[in-house]
Structure 1
Amino acid sequence: MSKPLIGVTTYLDQARWGVWEMPAALLPAQYPRLVQASGGLATMLPPDEPSAAASVVARLDGLVIAGGADVEPVRYGAEPDPRTGPPARARDTWELALIDAALASGTPVLGICRGMQLLNVALGGTLVQHLDGHVESVGVIGRHAVKPVPGTRYATLVPELTTVPTYHHQAVDRLGRGLSPSAYAEDGTVEAIELPDPVWALGVQWHPEMGEDLRVMQGLVAAAST
């Protein structure tokens, strides 16, 4: 049986390697490693024209919206908070188009950190622009406990209280259309969201690629295999 092809969105940033420094489509190696360890094949999806999204998604078995910059507040009808980071407009436009195409086609989709927030925004939800206590320090992945909501897809994958790798200062506020919370932090922050069957769409606020627990990605790969 062939392995499912999982597309993972990328950063678009200035980078340096060898003797070069120039704009680059970037993806931390932990993302493809997590896909590979979970039984999938990984391919990178750098920002492109939104009109290409449906064609790209049609070639995939599953989609991962990776972490990264804050979603631009105009996307959910808000003024930017002074603590909201610079926008990544090319990513916002491209990834929203990919999410729309995946949901329309029934392609399984997993949103990670920013990806979860963008899934919520794609369905008309809003975000809290600044949240204290979920970043340990700049550039350092922290950990905190996450409790699943019984009966949800996430709880089927991870039924117990777990400690997850985390690095975010924004979070879901008003849930988008059809979305349900499927995990919470101890302070009440929504840590996972999902759409009901038959659509396989899950967002997690933490960074599974920075830990050892494969179950969330394995859930995506299993859905993509069908």
Structure 2
Amino acid sequence: MTTVRPLIGVSTYLEAGARWGVWELEAALLPAGYPRLVQRAGGLAAMLPPDAPEHAEATVARLDGLVIAGGPDVEPVHYGATPDPRTGPPARARDAWELALIQAALAAEVPLLGICRGMQLLNVALGGTLVQHIDGHAEVVGVFGHHAVKPVPGTLYGEIAPAETAVPTYHHQAVDRLGTGLLPSAHAADGTVEAVELPGAHWVLGVQWHPEMGEDVRVMRALVKAAAGS
């Protein structure tokens, strides 16, 4: 008997001037670590390039689970803030599309995982705010570091990873005020919120780090398991 692998959609972004072979064209891009992690966790990966927000509901209806991937800073207008000089340029089409995907997944109770930007956008979608730049943060462009995250006992993430874990990380922004209904489920040593979740009937989790850049599949495996209905 063949086991049906759940279909996990992963949001992507558009990049002008992508190059491969003799071609230089606009492309819908996604770092390969994302689909590989979905596949390693037992799911089928589907790339979701930016589309009109009104198509989000129909898109999510065809998925068993949804991942909002990492990427550029969320435009501060979405949480009522003035841009900090260190906040990156806006990605308005992506913001609109991914916010619509999040709302559609929440409404349809489709299991949802936000990764880095995806966690931040989940927080914003539920009325939360962000710290636009972590003071003292010295980011080396394109280089992932590692630090420990400590789970909050009794949470969804605490069940997935009960012990403190070193995770691959690359970010300069963080959750400030939590969105409606969200609970913190992991912290860094300095108190930064490293995971959030939405308690309730369905599976919703956001992690600030990048599991696709490491070997630990537990978070994605938990999403895939929830998407399979088991």
TM-score, normalised with respect to structure 1: 0.98
Give the structure 2 partner of residue 179 of structure 1.
182
| 2:56 corresponds to which of 46, 53, 56 | 53
Quote the offset at 1:197 in angstroms.
2.5
- Alignment gaps of 5+ in structure 2: none
Quote the offset at 1:132 in angstroms.
4.1
Give the structure 2 partner of residue 204 of structure 1.
207
Letter in 2 for 1:107: V
Quote the offset at 1:133 in angstroms.
5.6
Q: Structure 1, residues 147-190: CA drift from partner, whole Å, max 9, x if none?
A: 00000000000000000000000000000000000000001000
| 1:170 corresponds to which of 162, 169, 173 | 173
Identical positions, percent: 76
The answer to whether structure 1 residue 81 and structure 2 residue 84 are counterparts is yes
| 2:33 corresponds to which of 30, 33, 46 | 30
Letter in 1 for 2:49: P
| 2:163 corresponds to which of 135, 160, 163 | 160
Letter in 1 for 2:47: M
Q: Structure 1, residues 61-103: CA drift from partner, whole Å, max 9, x if none?
A: 0000000000000010000000000111111000000000000
Give the structure 1 partner of residue 153 of structure 2.
150
Letter in 1 for 2:174: A
Q: What root-mean-square deviation, in Å, do the aligned CA atoms of Structure 1 and Structure 2 show?
A: 0.9
Give the structure 2 partner of residue 106 of structure 1.
109
Quote the offset at 1:199 in angstroms.
2.2
Secondary structure at 1:25 match in 2:
strand
Q: Structure 1, residues 98-128: CA drift from partner, whole Å, max 9, x if none?
A: 0000000000000000000000000000000
- Alignment gaps of 5+ in structure 1: none
TM-score, normalised with respect to structure 2: 0.96
Query: How far apart, in 2, do the equivalents of 1:129 and 1:194 lie?
Result: 21
Q: Structure 1, residues 45-67: CA drift from partner, whole Å, max 9, x if none?
A: 00001110000000000000000
1:2–1:59 Cα change, 3 Å: same
Secondary structure at 2:98 match in 1:
helix
Letter in 2 for 1:13: E
1:6–1:134 Cα change, 3 Å: farther
Query: How far apart, in 1, do the equivalents of 2:218 and 2:136 lie?
Result: 25
Are 1:135 and 1:168, in contact at CA under 8 Å, matched by a contact in 2?
A: no
